């Protein structure tokens, strides 16, 4: 799925690889403190990358944009993150695996339309 510029059909893509970035696993293993989340906390994670897709066929390039994680049932914003500018990677660790989520990546620069990935479940 891509953020689409209606005039040129270029956009931003969410590449749902499913694996947590190494930095998140290292931070957790090194004893990072986290707040208890009784509504959404659990053993799962959602991690992926954002990339710009140009209509002229140039290779995808990473992009830093806000990614919001919403509870699919209520549309409540659960968490928000900014994708890494160098890699486009973002991660939402410590999530329940039995709740459907919705990912929303928006473009604060208003160049691209927002992209949504629906019915996403956290993976262990």
pLDDT at 102 over 50: yes
pLDDT tens per residue, range 20-36:
333 333 334 445 544 56
| pLDDT score for 84 | 95
Q: What is the CA radius of gyration of the chain?
A: 15
- Strand ranges (E), 10-122: 11-15, 44-53, 61-62, 66-71, 77-82, 89-95, 101-106, 115-120
pLDDT tens per residue, range 111-123:
888 889 999 999 9
| pLDDT score for 93 | 94
As a whole number, mean pLDDT of residues 55-59 equals 79
Q: Which domains does the chain have, with CATH numbers?
A: 11-120 (2.60.40)
Sheet holding 66-71, edge to edge: 77-82, 66-71, 101-106, 115-120
d(CA 8, CA 61): 17
As a whole number, mean pLDDT of residues 92-107 equals 94
């Amino acid at each position: 799925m891509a953020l689409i510029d209606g005039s040129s059909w270029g956009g931003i893509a969410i590449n749902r690889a499913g694996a947590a970035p190494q930095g998140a696993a290292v931070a957790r293993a090194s004893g990072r403190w986290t707040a208890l989340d009784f509504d959404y906390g659990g053993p799962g994670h959602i991690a992926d990358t954002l990339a710009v897709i140009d209509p002229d066929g140039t290779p995808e390039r990473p992009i830093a944009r806000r990614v919001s994680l919403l509870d699919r049932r209520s549309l409540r914003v659960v968490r928000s993150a900014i994708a890494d500018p160098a890699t486009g990677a973002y991660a939402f660790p410590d999530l329940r695996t039995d709740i459907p989520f919705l990912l929303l990546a928006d473009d604060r620069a208003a160049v691209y339309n927002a992209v949504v990935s629906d019915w996403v479940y956290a993976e262990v």
